Amino acid sequence: MTSHHARPIEPQALKELRATDDAGLPCVPVTDPDGGAPLRCCLRRGEPGERIALVSYAPLRRWAARTGARPGAYDEQGPVFVHAQECQGPDLDRSGYPFAGPGVLRTLRRYSAQGHILGGRLLEIPEPAGRDSPDAALDAALTEAFADSEVALVHVRAVEYGCFLYEVRRP
């Protein structure tokens, strides 16, 4: 059981990204021959043969537009995979954090309500010990992040490519 909620890209943003991404480029769907792409629309790995798209996404910019935050130089955009067409979103019966597994490296980037980076943490998800699951390490790191009352949200990113995986907001 996780203490925090991993948030997928919101449906309205997905609709926009499937037309024109945050870099102003048109969406170019492809058929994924091998599967495995980390899909940010439904927070699962893609399956072979699914139609997906790699789009540029600016999560902090979109959050700031809704909240009035002013991230300034902290605004950035990067590549994310999404289904090329509307999907059902995350499986609500699924437990645990998406894209977590032993040995996986993650960066947890903390942001203030103004959209400024307050710090970050590199996390290597350890092998499970006893009853611990890979989720336990992520849960502990997120709990640590939100122990700072200035932290409004955390972006979880893949270390290898720096890709945004999902957002967690203050509980």
Each residue of 110-165: pLDDT tens digit? Answer: 999 999 999 999 999 988 766 667 788 999 999 999 999 999 999 999 998 888 99
CA-based Rg of the chain, rounded to a whole angstrom? 16
Q: What is the mean pLDDT of the chain?
A: 93
Question: Count of CB atoms within 10 A of residue 57's CB?
Answer: 24
pTM of the model: 0.92
DSSP tag of 70: -
pLDDT at residue 127, rounded to an integer: 80
What's the average model confidence in pLDDT over 95-116? 93
